Structure 1
Amino acid sequence: MTASARFTALCIATALALPAAAAAPAGQCGGTLYLTFDTGSQSQAELIAATLKRHAIRATFFLANERTVRGDYSLDPSWAAFWKARVAEGHAFGSHTFDHVYFTGDGARGTLGVKPQFGANAGRRLQWTPAQYCAEIERVDARFAELTGHHLDPIWRAPGGKVSQRTIAAAHSCGYAHVGWAPAGFSGDELSSTAFPNAVLLKKSLDKLKDGDIFMAHMGIWSRQDPWAPANLEPLIAGLERKGFCFATLREHPGFGKGATINVTK
């Protein structure tokens, strides 16, 4: 495949799914949104799952093996039942790198600067080859298959959304397209709750989300004092339903499987 084909950007967008009973009639959607969740402390995992199930929403989850409020890690066997249930509900799944590895910049001779947040190299600055970076993305698929019997969808999201053409090419070489989020799709759940109260974040999302946007939130953030999901997820979904939005996983987007990126400018 040519380099130009690898870097064909497919700008797509975000969503939350409507409750089945309140969904807009077929052909009468006011727009489609794509709701996505990255793993985190997992403090809100059960609440998020219950809310999505109650509204018959299918979302897209990006998984890393992160330390959780239970004292374990989000891809430990102790989370198998949780992930199996989400598979059964029809959600989509992508890689978030196994050790939640931050990209720090392109290095010399084609290498990639990285800093894992977890695992044996947590906190260390390393230089990886593209093959090593690709293997890190694929580690999530291997573990997810062990836990659930199912493989990931061919998508990934870099921690912090930090990428370069080199990281995108590395991931694409092993079959993964990168997924970002829309400007209005940043939930703000990792920001200070004092400077960015939940009510302010909710209003921004309801006012600015538009057709095709990818929305991103976490399944729990250690640093935020007032968690985002308990206060905002239900009213966000309800407000978007009232606007007539329909919802889908990234599998349903027309750009799925057609390029190296499923991305929008943050």
Structure 2
Amino acid sequence: MRFDALAAAVLGLVLAAPASAAGVCKGTIYLTFDTGSQSQAEFIAATLRRHHAKATFFLANEKTVNQDYSLDPAWAPYWKARVAEGHAFGTHTFDHVYVQRDLPGGRIEVKPQFGEHAGQKLDWSPAQYCAELNRVGTRFAALTGSRLDPLWRAPGGKLTPNLRAAGSACGYAHAGWSPAGFSGDELPSQAWPNVKLLQRALAGLKDGDILMAHLGIWSRQQPWAPAVLEPLLSGLEQKGFCFATLRDHPDYRNAIAAEPHS
């Protein structure tokens, strides 16, 4: 290759490089992942490493494609590796407990998806819900030797006044997601193919948005992550976006800074 052609090729690569790679951020996207079937857990971790992207993980003890649960001891190496990479972690309730409705006296009707009371509607006090949030932190510490950040995400993102008050009284800040940050990985792939979800995310995400996806969804025929995550991160980088955990988010950083992470 002639020198001028080589120089042009190199210049093209430089100009094509994402602005974030050069340390110039035009905005920040906060990547978050909830546990799920864990079918895409390793792929997502590898993709984040390639992009030097940090994310926040919300953990529940959910059944996985390995026929175990996401907070079983077998998953300790996975979570330890994510801690070492500098990601952040919050509680998603141990048994993936959905709120049903508020009850008198600050109590809450809930329905766990897993555990000994799976599928049952239960009448809980705020203290019982707090204990459920803290179960994740206890198990996470046993698996990794590290503490959760004081972050909480209700399954389904569904909140009621009593539920929000219970989580706040327990010391957790609730972290939902931005409208444009709904990845759609739970939607039927026939109606929402991956290419459509990718286009929607690239067009809609803006500075400060929180993106939510899962480490695997049982019901989706075309898994979201392998088709969408890599081009999504690359496309956002090309627009000049950088990625950060919720430890740096203006709505959460003060609360998190007051708590040790390990």
Q: TM-score, normalised by structure 2?
A: 0.89
Following the alignment from structure 2 to structure 1, what is the Cα–Cα distance between the partners of residues 67 and 40?
Answer: 15
Partner of 1:109: 105
Following the alignment from structure 1 to structure 2, what is the Cα–Cα distance between the partners of residues 215 and 228?
Answer: 13
The answer to whether the aligner puts 1:238 opposite 2:234 as a matched pair is yes
Mapped contact 1:51–1:234 kept (Cα < 8 A): yes
Larger radius of gyration: 2
The answer to whether the aligner puts 1:133 opposite 2:129 as a matched pair is yes
The DSSP-based 3-state class of the residue aligned with 1:136 is: helix
Q: How does 1:1-266 map to 2 (within 5 A)?
A: 23-26=20-23, 28-258=24-254
The DSSP-based 3-state class of the residue aligned with 2:93 is: coil
Name the CA shift for 1:150/1:21 in 2 (closer, same or farther; >3 Å).
farther
Partner of 2:4: none
Partner of 2:8: none
The one-letter code matched in structure 2 to 1:66 is E
The DSSP-based 3-state class of the residue aligned with 1:36 is: strand
Displacement over 2 Å in runs of 4+: 20-26, 257-260
Residue 23 of structure 1: how far off its partner (Å): 2.2
The DSSP-based 3-state class of the residue aligned with 1:127 is: strand
Following the alignment from structure 1 to structure 2, what is the Cα–Cα distance between the partners of residues 106 and 140?
Answer: 23
Q: Deviations over 1:57-88 (max 9, x none)?
A: 11000000000000000000000000000000
Following the alignment from structure 1 to structure 2, what is the Cα–Cα distance between the partners of residues 129 and 257?
Answer: 29
Following the alignment from structure 1 to structure 2, what is the Cα–Cα distance between the partners of residues 121 and 257?
Answer: 35
Partner of 2:11: none
Residue 21 of structure 1: how far off its partner (Å): 8.4
The DSSP-based 3-state class of the residue aligned with 1:73 is: coil
Partner of 2:14: none
Mapped contact 2:150–2:255 kept (Cα < 8 A): no
The DSSP-based 3-state class of the residue aligned with 1:23 is: helix
The DSSP-based 3-state class of the residue aligned with 2:89 is: strand
Following the alignment from structure 1 to structure 2, what is the Cα–Cα distance between the partners of residues 41 and 248?
Answer: 24
% identical aligned pairs: 68
Following the alignment from structure 1 to structure 2, what is the Cα–Cα distance between the partners of residues 189 and 22?
Answer: 28
Partner of 1:14: none
Q: TM-score, normalised by structure 1?
A: 0.87
Deviating more after overlay: 163-172 vs 72-81: 163-172
User: Whose helix proportion is higher, 1 or 2?
Assistant: 2
Unpaired stretches in structure 2, ≥5 consecutive residues: 1-16, 257-262
